[in-house]
Amino acid sequence: MLTYSPGNSPIHRLDPRSKLFFQFGFAIAVFVSPSLPRLLALFGFGAVVVRIAGLPVSRALWSYRVVLVVLAIAPLIAGFTLGPPWFRVDRALDSVLSVARVVPILFVSAAYIRATPVRQTRAAIQQTIPSRAGQLVGTGVALTIRYVPVLRADVQEVRDALAARGGDRQPVHKRAGQIVALSIQRAFDRSDQLAVALEARCFAWNPTLPRLAFSRTDYLVVGIGGLLAISPLLAF
């Protein structure tokens, strides 16, 4: 699973606010892209961003393998019909073009996760959204980023424990039910532990977060993000 990795790449040195704005503009350009050549160009652009962050494209794809499998099923469902010819290729191709737009966005998101500490993300959110709303959103995002890998590891431990006790020989539906029940129980246990830990550490809504400042490169990235956001209008 993708997590932050310290480094000295150009993306590591950017302000998180400029990176978030770039993602916003990039997503607009991808989803409003009217033609296949433009989409392929943005696909290559996203792959370049991943490489600049020091992350192999293959690893980024592998990290999103579950999402990609779900996306791959969508064209099959779209092409299926309840009567002859039973499968329409034109509908399937239209669906492929639609779901393929998600992949470049996943590339850019992977680069952001790889090159941005959680505390910087929280600081960017709280400095962008004013008052208690920004503090709430920043805290929620920070806790989500930190605990998703933990919960994923808990699910893997549950699977390994069941397999060690011969659970892998049980029917799939029964094994899945046990994994879900035990994983939910662990998630509730984690939430209780988190509440106690926050109380013990005198959790503050407004902690001392890292100071953020734009550099010349950040302004350039913001400009590129703005151009990407309005690029569909320029194309028309």
- pLDDT for 83-104, tens place per residue? 787 788 888 888 888 888 888 9
Q: In this structure, are residues 21 and 225 in contact, taking their beta carbons and an 8 Å threshold? A: yes
Q: How many residues does the chain have?
A: 236
| pLDDT surpassing 70 at residue 110 | yes
pLDDT at 14: 92
pLDDT at 204: 63
Q: Tens digit of pLDDT for each residue in 144-176?
A: 777 777 887 888 888 888 888 887 778 877 888
- Enter the DSSP assignment of 83: S
Q: How far apart, in Å, are the Cα atoms of 55 and each of 9, 60, 89, 113, 154?
A: 10, 7, 35, 10, 26
List of long-range contacts for 134-142, beta carbons under 8 Å, 24+ apart: 135/205, 135/206, 139/205, 142/118
- Bridge partners of 87, per DSSP, are 80
Question: According to DSSP H, which parts of 86-215 are helical?
Answer: 89-100, 102-115, 118-128, 131-164, 172-200
Region 32-57: mean pLDDT is 87
* Chain centroid offset of residue 153 CA: 18
| pLDDT surpassing 90 at residue 2 | no
| pLDDT surpassing 70 at residue 5 | yes
Average pLDDT value for the chain: 84
pTM: 0.75
Instruction: Check whether the bond before 75 is cis (ω within 30° of 0).
Output: no
